[in-house]
Structure 1
């Protein structure tokens, strides 16, 4: 059944939106609010969110909890509560309390905790810090006490004061290693700052976003090809060899949505840069037979990794609906069909397959909690577009 989805006539996007909605609110959020939280029956969020589940849908008993996963799940349940899901608030409150155990008074956040909440790895990781700020911005919309907002601003100051580099941008981690510079954590920091500004409406909260857009424009996006690099030297030249050739269409699509948001919030025109990203990823990323978007490409458009992560499909959906909200060529409908019928089926209720191989069969070894962030953000754009179309 799974290999023949491309031969079926896809349903109208409006019908699939309803199927997606039912699955998310009836199965996913209740499941991850109970089995996906670590604690007691009376307080299932006492020890935060699960790191991952086995393929049977039970705890994988990971000996650590990454800060990025706790932050992503804080966003998920803050979003759910703001959508009116009754249990979302208590889950968000519990995960927020657990996440704060990774924070010190100076504004630094560690990288991981033990399952009970003791600091396990104190390394400051830019990727994790970006998601902490993003999640705190969303939790502030729910809690409105000012505590999460203060923590988010403190974290952003700490990054600027401690992780900035003379060449622009930030170290990946502190203590800094000798690994290549990466675009991905900078992208998520950009996302976090936009979320923070949308929460507060205060221009000062946007300052770092302008610097990150300048970094993107000057170094991350190649002026000749319009493509987005992943790995760079310390002075932001493309990394040598294989790493410098490695591109991810999912991140091209993710930037398309982020640039649209940046333009919406600031008035800075980003369309030309976004279009170049979109056209490259749309031309080379999807498999013509299945519509699944691959995990990695070379700068010439050749497929370097033909498997298809769930998150890549979610980011593709966001970009497609950003560029073409009417879905005139049916591409968004095809993506949602793949999500519903390839990733969200033949697995425990409320869960998903995280990765398909080049033959479109599931190859995941676990069910990572981190994927829910991408599911929510993809659904959120789909939901907004469908609401606008049907008004």
Structure 2
């Protein structure tokens, strides 16, 4: 496998293949909604539901694309914000988890994961358009989270809360809060981000591993559930923590390095180079299959450490970029992807979920943003 980062291929896949395909096939003119899935001929699949998180993620993608100069981006960014506005059920109900094709609520559960992407979508729309409507949307989302989902320490993952407490929605709320602060300069978003980083330091991370499941007091869940670790989430947290450090001046490098160290040692298959789905906190593999998104998070984590410390990212970024382009994104219709491979390396995907575009687009645009600095390493 080549050790060179394929900048030109990344540029072409992102701007010449993926964005045009998802702008057309990924938007249903009849329902005026972003679609949930495409098939491998690039045609929409009626999943029977629309997830609010996908609307937030696609709003992000097209808003970021607009900022980068992609011509259709601003129109589709506005479309995403309009959909988020229409999904809002009011200050007591917030945004539903799922709706049908006509917009009727299927599952009205307030879900912190979904709400984080509502905030994220509005924040990126505001970065692109600087409009008051998206700013108001950001505050509606944050108001609902603060009013209804705030717990004694952190937030509830859903209402009413069931099962173990989850770290993952908190990670995405941190990500969204940082973009919101960056977009507006408003300290309410920075205060939420600080609170979440404190939670991470005090409760979620033990210096090596980030658990997925916790009890009500943020002790790791009993039994095997408390031992489960997702390498992709370790890498994703590393990238987000470095972004927090860049915005605040706080030193988060040691946290990020600890997260990446465990993920690289125990979460990246030495034979295939794929970032595995789930391991135990002692490093034993639980699910050695690999979806698309953990591989994108490996790219982002190493780019973050490069910006923070100067650590050469080329080997890891080249390997995971090449893996994505040659295996996951190597489909007959450019702009699609194979969502998962089994531990044996067999494709394990029936359709192409729209939710994954957020991961690939963000990782690839980070590669392109840092291209000049990375290329300077070889001079």
Structure 1 residues 106 and 327: alpha-carbon distance in aligned structure 2, compared to 1, 3 A threshold: same
The answer to whether the aligner puts 1:30 opposite 2:23 as a matched pair is no
Conservation of the 8 A alpha-carbon contact between 2:165 and 2:215: yes
Deviations 1:130-176 (A, max 9, x none): 0000110000122222111111122112211211122x111111132
1:294 alignment partner, one of 258, 269, 276: 276
Structure 2 counterpart SS, 1:120: strand
Structure 1 residues 170 and 30: alpha-carbon distance in aligned structure 2, compared to 1, 3 A threshold: same
What is the TM-score when the length of structure 2 is the normalising length? 0.94
1:21 alignment partner, one of 11, 25, 36: 11
Structure 2 counterpart SS, 1:324: helix
The answer to whether the aligner puts 1:370 opposite 2:360 as a matched pair is no
Displacement of 1:123 in angstroms is 1.2
2:230 counterpart residue number: 248
| Structure 2 residue runs without a partner (length 5+) | none
| Structure 1 residue runs without a partner (length 5+) | 1-7, 41-45
Displacement of 1:238 in angstroms is 0.6
Displacement of 1:17 in angstroms is 1.2
Deviations 1:333-360 (A, max 9, x none): 1111101101111342210011111122
1:317 counterpart residue number: 299
Distance 1:251 1:87 in 2: 31
1:4 counterpart residue number: none
2:129 counterpart residue number: 143
Displacement of 1:284 in angstroms is 0.9
Alignment RMSD: 1.6
Deviations 1:289-325 (A, max 9, x none): 2211100110101111000110000000000122236
Greater Cα shift, 336-345 or 321-330: 321-330
1:388 counterpart residue number: 373
Distance 1:217 1:332 in 2: 27
Conservation of the 8 A alpha-carbon contact between 1:101 and 1:119: no
Greater Cα shift, 76-85 or 183-192: 76-85
Deviations 1:170-218 (A, max 9, x none): 11111322x1000000000000000001101233321111111111111
Displacement of 1:129 in angstroms is 0.2
1:284 alignment partner, one of 266, 270, 277: 266
Matches within 5 A, 1:80-229: 80-106=65-91, 108-166=94-152, 168-177=153-162, 179-223=163-207, 226-229=208-211
Distance 2:366 2:114 in 1: 24
1:265 counterpart residue number: 247
Distance 1:359 1:347 in 2: 22
Distance 2:328 2:306 in 1: 24
Distance 1:346 1:82 in 2: 28
Structure 1 counterpart SS, 2:106: strand
Displacement of 1:57 in angstroms is 2.4
Displacement of 1:390 in angstroms is 4.7
1:51 counterpart residue number: 36
The answer to whether the aligner puts 1:304 opposite 2:259 as a matched pair is no
Structure 2 counterpart SS, 1:104: coil
Structure 1 counterpart SS, 2:34: coil
Structure 1 counterpart SS, 2:286: strand
Distance 1:247 1:203 in 2: 32
Displacement of 1:24 in angstroms is 1.1
Displacement of 1:52 in angstroms is 0.8
2:29 alignment partner, one of 35, 39, 46: 39
Conservation of the 8 A alpha-carbon contact between 1:286 and 1:292: yes
Greater Cα shift, 99-108 or 259-268: 99-108
Conservation of the 8 A alpha-carbon contact between 2:302 and 2:313: no
Displacement of 1:329 in angstroms is 6.0
Conservation of the 8 A alpha-carbon contact between 1:232 and 1:239: yes
Distance 2:235 2:245 in 1: 16
Distance 1:149 1:142 in 2: 11
Deviations 1:236-284 (A, max 9, x none): 1111112111100000000111110111101111122221111111111
Aligned length: 372
Deviations 1:348-377 (A, max 9, x none): 221001111112221112100000000111
Greater Cα shift, 20-29 or 105-114: 105-114
1:12 counterpart residue number: 4
What is the TM-score when the length of structure 1 is the normalising length? 0.91
Distance 2:147 2:250 in 1: 26
